[in-house]
Amino acid sequence: MLAWITRGLAKGRITTAYPREPERPADGFHGPVLVLEASDADRELEWCCPTAAITVDAHRRLSLDHGRCIQCGECVRAAPHRFVFAQRYETADRRREALVVGDTDRHAPSPGRPTLADQERALKRSIHVRHIDTGSDGSEEWEVQALWNPYYDIQRLGFFLTAAPRHADILLATGVVTPAMRSPLERTWAVMPEPKALVAVGTDACSGGLSAGDGETCSGIDAVLPVDVYVPGSPPSPIAILDGLLLAAGLRDERRDR
């Protein structure tokens, strides 16, 4: 056992300073897709997207919905002057409509639900997180688990994993919501005490992604329950999920730079 302790100490500190200091991915990372040029677009651009995330309206204005985007890169390869992978990890937002980028008729921004910190100040440094898989591809679970590894060590920020939904403040939901997982999702959410926040992790959880159905099945978490924070990505990186957790907890200012 002593061997392990010396081993752990000998390797020094590797934990990120995020969010105190920003963390940028290495070159070539496939972050969220940005729209560089939104005007004068052809209708055909919509066809390259397998999840219908790209829309060209009657005025030939182009928009892209991060909530549907699976970062497959088809659009980046088809029209590199219009689309580019952003060199950043963060993707989270509290409002579904804010995930749409490009030239779009912005509705008056809805305020979103109050964050945990707005509702209960005492929650700031001890937040218990529960996870539920409602039909993911399995990669989101790896990225959520990674938050507890020494690189990200989310416990330093006061986030703890709990096994019981009755002790949880935040529910991290991954997956499209298959018919079989709908009732377990509703029951898990119902037994959590107020105040509580629901975070949809991954494009599948935001919209159903590639398996999106027509009705309520496989169409994402918000077809079943109101979502507090959306973290799109296929899958979102650990930093993106951490960013979403901070946003839900009210520990991060909302970005204005979209």
Partner 1 sequence: MSLAEHRPELPEYLPGHLGAVPQPGPAGEIRLRVTPLGFARASQMLHRAGARFVTLLLAETPDRAIVGVFAMRGDLLVLTAPTPPEDTPTYTALGPWWPAARWTEQELADRHGVRPVGLVALPDLTTPDADTLDRSVAGLDVFSLPFGPVRSGVFEAIQFLIETGGEDVTRVRTRPFFKHRGLEQRAVGMTPAEAVHVAERIAGISSVAYALAFSQAVERALGVSVPTRAERWRAVHAELERMANHLDVIAKQAETTALSVGQARFQILKERVMRWRARLTGSRFGRGAVIPGGGRIGDGMSLRDLLTELDDFEGDLASDRRRFLRTASMTDRLIGTGRLPRALVEEYAAVGPVARGSGLSTDARHERPYGEYRRLGLQVVTDRNEDTMSRVLVRFGELSESLRILRQAIAHLDRNGTELATPIPLAAAGCAFGWAEAAQGELVIWVELRDGLISRLHVASPSLRNWALFDHAFPQDVLTDFAFIEHSFGLTPAGADR
Q: Which residues bind partner 1 (CB under 8 A)?
A: 1, 3-5, 7-8, 11, 14, 25-30, 50, 70-74, 85, 131-146, 149-151, 161, 163, 165, 172, 175-176, 178-181, 183-184, 188, 209-211, 218, 234-235, 237
Q: Please, are residues 65 and 15 in contact by the beta-carbon 8 Å criterion?
A: no
Quick one: 137 or 254, whose CB is closer to partner 1? 137
C-beta neighbour count of 209 within 10 angstroms: 26
Q: What angle do CA 19, 251, 175 make, to 5 degrees?
A: 85
Residue type, 152: Y
* Smallest separation, CB 115 to partner 1 (Å): 23
* Smallest separation, CB 59 to partner 1 (Å): 28
Task: Note the residue count of the chain.
Answer: 258
Give the H/E segment covering residue 200.
Answer: strand 197-201
Quick one: 11 or 256, whose CB is closer to partner 1? 11
Helix runs in 121-252, H state only: 139-146, 179-190, 203-207, 238-249
Quick one: 38 or 72, whose CB is closer to partner 1? 72
Quick one: 98 or 147, whose CB is closer to partner 1? 147
Nearest to 71 by CA among 106, 25, 130, 39: 25
Quick one: 29 or 107, whose CB is closer to partner 1? 29
Residue type, 122: A
Exposure of 168 by Cβ count < 10 A (0-12 exposed, 13-18 middle, 19+ buried)? buried
* Smallest separation, CB 127 to partner 1 (Å): 16
* Smallest separation, CB 149 to partner 1 (Å): 4
* Smallest separation, CB 235 to partner 1 (Å): 7
